Amino acid sequence: MTVLLDTNVFLFIARDGSLPKAVQRIVENHSTEILVSIITYWEIAILNNESFGKRKRIEMPFRRVEQAVEAMSARLLPITINHTGILHRLPMFHRDPFDRMIIAQALEERCPVLSADQRFELYKGQGLKVIWN
């Protein structure tokens, strides 16, 4: 099985947080291919930087992000033209641009997304499979 991690799940794993048992089993299964979107790097970089006008919301050195991806044996998923085409056609159920791109990537890659964000469920009608509980 191939799964794409939403940034919130990536952070849970990177910080050794507790995940629902079903999600933990998927992540720990050696036959699972874990994808981490470049969007996750981008989102963490922005939310880790006070110069963007918002209070820092993520405290994680960038090297720690790279180490977490390596520890998960995850594959970095770049953004492709096909991903942006899906993004362009997505209904605006969710306004967060990072989450919308992760949703578009999961749809294009035809893989479930692991996410605690309840708004992802709104995209089930577009074919998105969300795994959390």
* pLDDT tens, position by position, 17-44: 789 998 999 999 999 999 999 999 999 8
Question: What is the Cα–Cα distance from 69 to 7, expressed in whole angstroms?
Answer: 12
If phi over 0 gives left and psi between -120 and 50 gives alpha, with beta otherwise, what is residue 68? Answer: alpha
Q: Does domain 2-131 have CATH number 3.10.50.40?
A: no
In this prediction, residues 106-125 reach a mean pLDDT of 97
CA distance 87 to 21: 31
Delimit the domains of the chain by residue range: 2-131
Give the start-end residues of each E strand in 26-117.
33-37, 75-77, 113-114
Asked if the model's pLDDT at residue 132 lies above 70, the reply is yes
Q: How much is the pLDDT for 126?
A: 96
Q: State the distance between the two ends of the chain, measured CA to CA, in whole angstroms.
A: 17
